Structures are given as C-alpha cells and as structure tokens.
Structure 1
Amino acid sequence: MNWAIIEQVFIMALLAGVGILCRKLKLLDDACTKKLSTVVLNFATPMVILVSYQKPFDPETLNTLLLSFLIAIISYVIAFILVPLIIRSKDKEGQLIERFSCLYSNCAFMGIPLIQGVYGTEGVFCLTAYVTMFNICSWTHGVIMMKGGKPNFKQMIKSLLSPSIIVTIIGIILFLCNFTLPNVILETAQHLANINTPLAMIIAGSTIATVKLLPALKKPRLYYTCFVKLFLLPALLTVICLVFKIDQTVAGVNILATACPAAAMCTMFALLYDRDAGYSAEIFAVSTILSMVTLPLTLMYYTALAGIFM
C-alpha cells in the first residue's frame, strides 16, 4: 500500500520534470504557462469533477458521500482556524503564499491517481467530497486571498460562478437523479479530465524551472510551512477520525488528501493574480519532495493506530 503512494509521488515528480525540461528547452515561457493554467482551471479540472459523479445512485453510496463531505468540512475548519494563528510573517506576500499552500493541498492533481492506487474506485468516489470542498473554498476564499483586499458580496458571487463550482453542482444533481450523460458527452469529458494531472504538473514544473531549488532548500521558513502542511494538519484529522471511529476508507482518503503536498493551483493562481509564483513553486517543489516520505508515514501511522483503537 505504501509503495503505491511512493509510485504515484514519483509519477507526479516525473511529470513536473517534463515541465522543467520544456522550460529549459524554451518550449514554454511565462505567457504560455499562464495560458495553460487557464485551460486547466477552466476546462480540465471541472471535467475531473463531472466524471467522478457519473456513478449509479444508491442510499449506501449517498451515506458514504455525506460522511466524506463531513470529514472534509472538518478538515478545512481545522485548517482555517489553525493556519492563520501559526503561519505569521512580516513578509505579507510570503505569508499569503504560505497560508494558501497550507490550506490547499494537491488533492485533485496528485490525490486522484494517488487514492486510485491505494483505495481503488471506492476511494476516488470518497475523494470527490474533499475535492469538491477544495474547489468551493479555493475558488471563493482562495481567490479572495490571492486578489487581496476584504471580501465583498459581488466578488464572492463572481467566484461562485467559476466553472469548477458550476460543474460541481451539476455533477451532484446528476448523481442524485441517477442520470448518466450521453456517451459522446461523457467520453469528451473523460478526455478533458485525462489531461488534468499531466498539464497541471507540467505547469508546476515550468514554474519550478524559473526558481533556484538549492537556495530554496536552505530556507528554514519553507520547512516550517511544509511541517504544518504535511504533518500537523493530517495528524489532527487522524486524531478526530480515530476518536469518532470513522469508516477507515473514508478516514484514510481524507487524511491522505489533507497530507498531500501544497496545491499546484497555488502556483497557477499566483500566475493569474500576479503574486509570488516563484515562492509558491518553491513550496510546491519542496513539499512534493518531502511528501515522498511523509505520505507513506502518514498512512502507516493511521493504519497502525486504527488497528489498535478501532
């Protein structure tokens, strides 16, 4: 099981390596990378969500989905309360990137193939709840963070009209109505969903190629951010799942989703809203490297503790 996680992490790293190579060969530049980010955020990611909800409806499946939503909500509530309290810096631009990186994990780009390898299709379905919460929060709270300034009603409504949010609502309605899309539409959506992970990693790799990784590895602040993201937040969710004896698949999926490295979306949002994409790429790169160790350990200690207390 742990080897499945390590394998998926390496796949993500290799895909990011393609992006680095494309940047070095001058096949990608800032403008092209930014346009690709727009394609991923507005087309590929929404199709991942839509396809994931194309599943036969039954009451037990619905209960599993609702429980997954509850655990995902608890995970985000913990993060929203804790992260602003412990991620503080005089560098406000850096603080913003650090907080976003801690709050939002690579749960879709990396989490979907990761969970598929560990828990199979049942795990991916559970993951859709976490990914849905990720998209709702990142396209509202996350966008407001990146744009800066105080949230207002008009800005919130505009964020809620993002493609990912609209498709999430459509997907849930289709699932509840037990409606299967026509094959030609579903196949098209699946093809678009399939480009989500490789394109997202290539974009991240292209951005990583613009920063000096060795100097980044010497930044203590970056390791502290990774500690909060990769260890502290998943550990707190693990305790809650053990105390309330949450179904092990639902718990394991949500814990791993929380423990995924910093979201590639942080880098894409930073590019779109002219934030410090370089620092975001550093956190993404280092957290991804460290996750090769922390993700298997996270699953190992949860499995061990579940065997004792559940």
Structure 2
Amino acid sequence: MEISSVIFNQLLQMFFVMMFGFVLVKFKFLNMDGTQQLANIVTKFIIPIVILMSFQQDYDPSQLYILFTSFMGALSIILSRIALAHTLLRNRSKIDRYAIVFSNTAYMGIPIVLPILGYEGIFYLSMYIVTSAIFQYTYGKWMLSEGNEAITLRSILTNPASLGSFIGFGLYILRIPIPGVLYNSLDTIGGLSSPLGMILLGGYLARSRVKDIFLVRSNYWTVAIRLIIAPIIGVFLLWLLPIAHPSVLLVLSIANATPTAVNTALFSQLYGGDYEYGARIIILASFLAIVTIPLMISLASAVLL
C-alpha cells in the first residue's frame, strides 16, 4: 500500500494544480486561445523532451530487452482497448470509443512515475507513451475524422512523441550524453509537463457545466470501462506476458490505470467531434481516477509484483 499512498498524494497535488487552472480560466486570466497554445507547447515540445531525457542514462545492452518487454506490454494493453471499445461501445459515439482506448499517460503517468522510479521509470514508460502516440496520430485521427484522415507512415514516424523517442534512443545507443548545462535546462522544461497538463484540465472544467459532467448517467458507463474494466483486463494481460522486471510491471500498471487522454477533447475539436463532450469525459475520469488509480495499482501489486 506504500506505493498506492505515494500515488494518491501525487494525484491530490495534481488536483490542486488543476484547480489553479480552473481559477485562471474562470476569472479570465486564461482564454481559449491561451489554452490551445499551452496544449500545443506541451504536446509538441515538452513531452518529447521528457521522453528524450529518459534515455540519458548509462548504456546497458540488457536494458534493450527490458525496453522491448515494455513495448509488448504497452501494445497488448492498447490493442485490448481497441477491441473493448468496439465491443462494449459499438453503439456509442466515436468520442466514447476514443476515450476508452487512449489514456492520459503523459500528463498523469510521468508525474507519478518520476518521483517513484526517476528517469529509469520514464525510460520504460516512454514505450507506452510512444506506442499510444503512434496509435493516436493514426488510428485515433482516422476514427475521429470518420476515415477522412488517412493512416500514413509519416504520421507514425514524425509525431512529436516518436521524434523525442528516436532522438533519445539514438543518443542512448551512440552513448552521447547531453552536456550538463543543457541537461539541467531540458530537465527544468520537462518538469513543466504535469503542471501545464493539469492547468489544461482545470480550464476544461471551468468551461463546463457541473451538472453535465456529474449528473449525466451515460457518462459513467464510459468512465467505468475506462477506469475499472479496461485496467482489470490490462492487469490480466500483463500477468500473461513474460515480463519479469518489477519496474516495468509497475510502470505499465500505472500507465494502465491512468484516465482518459486530454487529446480526447483536443483531437475532437480538430477533427469534427463534440469536443465539449470529450472534455466532460476527461474531467469526470480525472476526478474519479484519484480513487481508482490507487485501487488498480494495489490490484496490480497483488497480482504482478
């Protein structure tokens, strides 16, 4: 339960930062244009920097296999969620299905993993973030645009998370360390990922009506699948896979339990969906995740660790 307690405290801190974002938008210190700019900065620059930084460690050939097992775990979880979304939510909207498949791993996973496992944990978590990003920029865009956005090799290779991973992995394989001053600067920039992500969520909350978030029963079915059913299936898949490294299992368990991706709203706005509904699902899932993430991590710890 010690890990669950750390995670709960971290989630509580993130909640208060989210409330700061709520105040900024509610009192008009941050408008819609500013929110969009923040989202672009986090998605296109800060998260790739965090991923790149995770590869700045001593080269160890044995870690390549461990990294591969992390990738296999991430791929299995995401594919299972695509199947789950098209089975349990086949009669619901494309936004509901997107909300089930993609999780807020970068915004909420990084600040949970970093204080527990440091950059070693982010090293393994990067496999989930990159795998999820590839699916978001291909399958996710295709689904939300109802086929108008084609899946291309370019979208797989050139999305921000993939670029950060490729550059970081290249430096890791070539054993090229980032100079001290630049490392510290990038480390400071990477630390902005969580507070800015939570400020964005607070902004979505400020623009939504509370009753539309918490008093619509149908919202809870989507969120229950996202926070309870999908993570339980994810734990079962991790139990089946030949993954023995405890840090990888813990990182994948955390990623498995995180709530709905912020891109559920951002991509919906870009590709013709009801982004306000997507924002309501994000907020409801993020609130309830304060309770469900520690529970799911406790379950994973009992089964896997």
Superposition TM-score, scaled by structure 1 size: 0.89
Q: Is 1:210 matched with 2:207? A: yes
Against the structure 1 CA distance between its residues 306 and 181, is the aligned structure 2 distance closer, same or farther, given a 3 Å change threshold?
A: closer
**C-alpha RMSD of matched pairs (Å):** 2.1
Q: Is 1:157 matched with 2:159? A: no
The match for 2:137 among 136, 139, 144 is 139
The match for 1:26 among 28, 38, 56 is 28
Instruction: For residue 273 of structure 1, report the CA deviation from its aligned partner.
Output: 4.0
Q: Is 1:181 matched with 2:183? A: no
Against the structure 1 CA distance between its residues 251 and 4, is the aligned structure 2 distance closer, same or farther, given a 3 Å change threshold?
A: same
Deviates most, 198-207 or 244-253: 244-253
Give the secondary-structure state (helix, strand or coil) at the position aligned to 1:294: helix
What residue in structure 2 maps to residue 191 of structure 1? 188
Q: Is 1:281 matched with 2:279? A: yes
Q: Distance in 2 between matches of 1:11 and 1:112?
A: 14
Instruction: For residue 274 of structure 1, report the CA deviation from its aligned partner.
Output: 5.2
The match for 1:11 among 10, 13, 16 is 13
Against the structure 1 CA distance between its residues 121 and 194, is the aligned structure 2 distance closer, same or farther, given a 3 Å change threshold?
A: closer
How many equivalent pairs are there?
302
Instruction: For residue 78 of structure 1, report the CA deviation from its aligned partner.
Output: 0.9
Instruction: For residue 75 of structure 1, report the CA deviation from its aligned partner.
Output: 0.9
What residue in structure 1 maps to residue 104 of structure 2? 106
Instruction: For residue 172 of structure 1, report the CA deviation from its aligned partner.
Output: 1.6
Against the structure 1 CA distance between its residues 215 and 152, is the aligned structure 2 distance closer, same or farther, given a 3 Å change threshold?
A: closer
Q: Distance in 1 between matches of 2:42 and 2:71?
A: 24
What residue in structure 2 maps to residue 68 of structure 1? 70
Alignment gaps of 5+ in structure 1: none
What residue in structure 1 maps to residue 256 of structure 2? 258
Q: Distance in 2 between matches of 1:274 and 1:210?
A: 19
Q: Distance in 1 between matches of 2:285 and 2:56?
A: 32
Letter in 2 for 1:39: I
Letter in 1 for 2:154: I
Superposition TM-score, scaled by structure 2 size: 0.90
Instruction: For residue 272 of structure 1, report the CA deviation from its aligned partner.
Output: 4.0
Letter in 2 for 1:13: F
Instruction: For residue 143 of structure 1, report the CA deviation from its aligned partner.
Output: 2.7
Matched-pair identity in %? 27
Contact 2:74 2:127 (8 Å CA) reproduced: yes
Instruction: For residue 262 of structure 1, report the CA deviation from its aligned partner.
Output: 0.7
What residue in structure 1 maps to residue 38 of structure 2? 36
Deviations 1:121-173 (CA, angstroms, capped at 9, x unpaired) = 433322121112122222222233334424535x5525642333222211122
Contact 2:129 2:161 (8 Å CA) reproduced: no
**Within-5 A mapping of 1:45-60:** 45-60=47-62
Contact 2:39 2:200 (8 Å CA) reproduced: yes
Instruction: For residue 174 of structure 1, report the CA deviation from its aligned partner.
Output: 1.6
Contact 2:128 2:252 (8 Å CA) reproduced: yes
Letter in 2 for 1:131: I
Contact 1:238 1:302 (8 Å CA) reproduced: yes
Alignment gaps of 5+ in structure 2: none
The match for 2:233 among 230, 233, 236 is 236
Deviations 1:180-207 (CA, angstroms, capped at 9, x unpaired) = 1233443333232222211121122112
Q: Distance in 1 between matches of 2:272 and 2:32?
A: 11
Q: Distance in 2 between matches of 1:176 and 1:159?
A: 21
Contact 2:54 2:120 (8 Å CA) reproduced: no
What residue in structure 2 maps to residue 85 of structure 1? 87
Instruction: For residue 269 of structure 1, report the CA deviation from its aligned partner.
Output: 2.6
Against the structure 1 CA distance between its residues 3 and 173, is the aligned structure 2 distance closer, same or farther, given a 3 Å change threshold?
A: same
Against the structure 1 CA distance between its residues 120 and 54, is the aligned structure 2 distance closer, same or farther, given a 3 Å change threshold?
A: closer
Instruction: For residue 100 of structure 1, report the CA deviation from its aligned partner.
Output: 1.5
The match for 1:291 among 276, 284, 289 is 289
Instruction: For residue 255 of structure 1, report the CA deviation from its aligned partner.
Output: 2.1
